[in-house]
C-alpha cells in the first residue's frame, strides 16, 4: 500500500499549473524563433548542437549503405567490366573536351587582357558526399559531409561558407544555407524559396529561375512574351546576384507557353543537375572579393603592367641595337 | 520527484533518441508525404505512461533537438511538441481510460492540430505545402499508435521503467 502511495504521490505534487508552464514554454519558443530568424546570436549554439546530432543522419543512412555495399559485393564481374568500359569511354570523351578547353581558356584570358577586365580565376572545388535528405517533402534541402572545419587549402582560408554554391557533375545544384562544424545544409535550386539569376546561353537574355517545389522543374519569372527564348535553350548562371559564379549550366528550357491572357510568357525549365540522384557534390570556391575590391585589384594590376611596359620601352630605346622604332611599336601591339 | 527514484530512466531517453533517428530515416519518395510523427508518438506514450517523469520540459528539449536536426527555426518543433504534450497531459485522465481505437481517434485530432500549427509556422518562414496533404502524417501516426503503444508497453513492463 505504501508503495502505491509513493507511486501516486508525484501526480499531485503541486508546481505551477500546466497551463502556465505551457504558456512559458510557448513564449520561450516564440522568442527563440524570432531570435533565430532575425539575429545571428544563436548560430554557435545551433552549430554545436548540430555537431552532436548530425551523426544521427549517418546512423539512419546505415541500412541503405549496408544494402548498397552488399549489392556491390555481389555484383558480377561482367557488370563491373561493363561499367569500367563505360567509364573509360566517358573519360576519353571528357579528355577530348578538356584539350579544347585549354586552348579556349587561354584564348579567353588573352581576350580579357585585351579588354582590360579582371582575369578569370580558375575556381577551386571541394568534393563532398551527400549524407542526408530533409525528411520534409515540401522543402528541398540536403545535408553534406563538409563543414566549417573543411578547407580547400592548407592555410585554412578557403573553408566552407554560408551561401557557397554547390555543383554536381552536370550543373548547379544549390547553395549552402547552414554551416555546422563538420556538416552543412544545402538548399537546392528547386526549393520554392530559392531563385537564381540565369541567362540564356544562346543570346545572353537574362531572367530569374525560381524553384517550384518539384525536383524536375524551374520556372522563369517575368519573361516578356516577345523575348527570344525557345525550347531546348540552355540556361547558365549569370553571376548577377554575386552569389553563384557565372557560366555554370543551370537548366534547359522545357516549354514556353505564350498565353495572351497572361502578362508574361510562362517558361518552364528542367535542371541539368541530377538534383535528387547525385551522391557526390562539388563545393565551389569562387572569387569572394567584392566588385569594388576586384575593380581596384585589377586597376592596380593594370597599372603595374603599364609601368612594366613603359620600362621595357625605355630600355628598348636606350639599347642601341634595338631595331624596333617606337612608331612601329603600336601596330605590333595591335597585332597581338 | 518526491521520494520516488527513477528506475531505468535511460530506456525513455533511448527510445526518444530512436524516435529522432526514425524521423530522419530515409524513405521512399512517395511515402515521404505521409511520414509518421515518430517523435510525437513515442513522446506521447511516455507522457501517458509516466506523466511525472516525462512532461513539457522533456518535450521542449526534444523539440529543440529536432529543430537542429531538421534545420528548422530553433523553437518551431519545440513549440509543436510542447503543444502535443500539453494536450495529452490535459486529456490524460480520460485518455488512459479509453480503449485503444478511441485513443487513436483522439490522438489523430491532437496531431492534426499540431500539424496545423506546423503548417502555419512553415508558412511564416516561406515554405508552404500546396495541398491538404499535410494532415496525412497525423492520420498515419494515429494508425500506428496501437502498434507503438504495444511495443513500448512491452518494453516498459519488461524493464520496469519508472
Cβ contact (<8 Å) for B69 and A185? no
Q: Where exactly are the structural domains of chain B?
A: 10-23+31-158
User: What is the spatial distance between Cα B29 and Cα A194, in angstroms, rounded to a whole number?
Assistant: 21
Cβ contact (<8 Å) for A29 and B20? no
Q: If contacts are CB pairs under 8 Å, which of residues 72-131 in chain B contact chain A?
A: 73-76, 78-79, 82-83, 86, 89-90, 121-122, 125-130
Minimal C-alpha gap between B45 and chain A (Å): 17
Beta carbons within 8 Å of A142's beta carbon, 6+ residues apart: A130, A132, A133, A134, A185, A186, A188
Residue whose C-alpha is closest to residue B40's, from B75, B73, B16, B61: B16
pLDDT tens digits for B76-114? 999 999 999 999 999 988 888 999 999 999 999 999 999
- Are A237 and A245 spatial neighbours (Cβ–Cβ below 8 Å)? yes
Cβ contact (<8 Å) for B74 and A178? no
Cβ contact (<8 Å) for A9 and B3? yes
ipTM above 0.90, yes or no: no
Q: Looking at chain B, which residue has its C-alpha nearest residue A11?
A: B52
Cβ contact (<8 Å) for A49 and B56? no
- Are A208 and A196 spatial neighbours (Cβ–Cβ below 8 Å)? yes
Segments in chain A below pLDDT 70: 1-15, 116-122, 287-291, 294, 319-336
pLDDT tens digits for A73-97? 887 788 888 989 999 999 998 988 8
- Are B103 and B51 spatial neighbours (Cβ–Cβ below 8 Å)? no
**Residue B8: enclosing H or E segment and its boundaries?**
none
Q: Is the pLDDT of residue B146 over 90?
A: yes
Burial of A287 (0-12, 13-18, 19+ CB in 10 A): middle
pLDDT tens digits for A229-275? 999 999 999 888 888 888 889 999 999 999 888 889 999 999 999 88
Residues of A in contact with B70 (CB under 8 A): 134-136
What pLDDT sits at residue B4?
A: 56
DSSP for B50-96 reads -TTTS-HHHHHHHHHHHHHHHT--TTHHHHHHHHHHHHHHHTHHHHH
- Nearest neighbour of A133 by CB, restricted to B22, B26, B130: B26
Helix or strand or coil: residue A195? strand
What pLDDT sits at residue B162?
A: 76
CB pairs under 8 A between A and B: 126
Q: What's the fold here for domain A125-284?
A: Thrombin, subunit H (2.40.10)
Q: Looking at chain B, which residue has its C-alpha nearest residue A18?
A: B86
* Rg value, chain B, Cα: 15
Q: If contacts are CB pairs under 8 Å, which of residues 131-160 in chain B contact chain A?
A: none
- Are B16 and B60 spatial neighbours (Cβ–Cβ below 8 Å)? no
Residue B64 cell numbers, joined: 529543440
Q: Looking at chain B, which residue has its C-alpha nearest residue A186?
A: B71
- Nearest neighbour of B4 by CB, restricted to A6, A25, A191: A6
Q: Where exactly are the structural domains of chain A?
A: 22-120, 125-284
Amino acid at each position: 500500500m505504501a508503495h502505491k502511495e509513493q507511486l501516486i504521490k508525484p501526480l499531485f505534487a503541486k508546481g505551477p499549473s500546466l497551463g502556465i508552464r505551457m504558456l512559458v514554454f510557448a513564449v520561450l519558443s516564440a522568442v527563440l524563433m524570432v531570435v533565430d530568424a532575425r539575429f545571428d546570436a544563436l548560430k554557435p549554439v545551433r552549430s554545436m548542437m548540430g555537431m552532436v546530432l548530425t551523426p544521427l543522419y549517418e546512423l539512419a543512412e546505415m541500412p541503405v549503405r549496408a544494402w548498397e555495399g552488399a549489392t556491390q559485393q555481389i555484383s558480377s564481374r561482367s557488370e563491373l567490366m561493363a561499367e569500367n568500359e563505360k567509364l573509360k569511354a566517358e573519360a576519353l570523351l571528357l579528355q577530348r573536351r578538356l584539350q579544347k578547353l585549354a586552348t579556349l581558356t587561354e584564348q579567353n584570358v588573352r581576350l580579357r587582357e585585351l579588354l582590360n577586365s579582371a582575369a578569370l580565376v580558375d575556381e577551386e572545388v571541394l568534393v563532398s558526399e551527400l549524407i542526408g535528405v530533409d525528411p520534409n517533402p515540401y522543402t528541398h534541402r540536403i545535408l553534406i559531409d563538409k563543414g566549417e572545419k573543411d578547407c580547400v587549402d592548407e592555410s585554412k582560408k578557403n573553408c566552407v561558407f554560408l551561401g557557397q554554391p554547390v555543383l554536381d557533375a552536370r550543373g548547379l545544384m544549390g547553395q549552402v544555407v547552414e554551416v555546422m562544424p563538420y556538416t552543412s545544409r544545402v538548399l537546392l535550386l528547386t526549393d520554392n524559396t530559392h531563385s537564381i539569376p540565369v541567362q540564356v546561353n544562346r543570346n545572353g537574355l537574362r531572367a530569374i529561375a525560381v524553384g517550384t517545389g518539384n525536383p524536375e522543374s524551374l520556372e522563369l519569372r517575368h519573361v516578356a512574351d516577345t523575348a527570344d527564348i525557345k525550347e531546348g535553350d540552355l540556361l547558365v548562371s549569370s553571376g548577377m546576384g554575386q552569389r553563384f559564379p557565372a557560366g555554370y549550366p543551370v537548366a534547359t528550357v522545357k516549354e514556353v507557353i505564350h498565353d495572351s491572357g497572361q502578362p508574361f510568357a510562362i517558361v518552364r525549365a528542367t535542371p541539368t543537375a541530377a538534383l535528387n540522384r547525385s551522391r557526390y557534390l562539388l563545393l565551389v570556391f569562387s572569387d569572394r572579393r567584392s566588385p569594388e575590391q576586384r575593380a581596384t585589384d585589377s586597376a592596380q594590376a593594370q597599372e603595374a603592367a603599364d609601368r612594366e611596359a613603359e620600362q621595357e620601352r625605355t630600355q628598348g630605346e636606350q639599347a642601341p641595337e634595338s631595331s624596333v622604332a617606337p612608331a612601329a611599336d603600336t601596330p605590333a601591339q595591335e597585332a597581338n | 520527484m518526491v521520494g520516488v527514484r527513477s528506475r531505468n530512466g535511460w530506456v525513455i531517453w533511448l527510445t526518444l533518441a530512436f524516435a529522432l533517428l526514425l524521423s530522419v530515416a530515409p524513405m521512399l519518395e512517395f511515402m515521404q508525404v505521409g511520414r509518421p510523427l515518430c517523435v510525437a508518438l513515442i513522446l506521447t506514450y511516455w507522457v501517458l505512461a509516466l506523466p511525472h517523469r516525462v512532461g513539457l520540459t522533456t518535450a521542449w528539449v526534444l523539440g529543440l533537438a529536432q529543430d537542429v536536426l531538421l534545420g528548422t527555426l530553433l523553437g518551431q518543433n519545440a513549440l509543436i511538441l510542447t503543444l502535443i504534450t500539453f494536450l495529452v497531459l490535459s486529456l490524460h485522465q480520460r485518455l488512459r481510460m479509453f480503449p485503444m481505437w478511441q485513443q487513436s481517434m483522439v490522438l489523430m485530432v491532437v496531431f492534426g492540430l499540431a500539424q496545423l500549427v506546423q503548417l502555419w509556422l512553415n508558412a511564416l518562414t516561406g515554405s508552404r505545402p500546396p495541398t491538404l496533404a499535410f494532415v496525412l502524417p497525423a492520420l498515419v501516426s494515429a494508425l500506428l499508435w496501437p502498434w507503438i503503444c504495444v511495443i513500448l508497453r512491452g518494453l516498459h513492463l519488461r524493464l520496469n521503467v519508472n
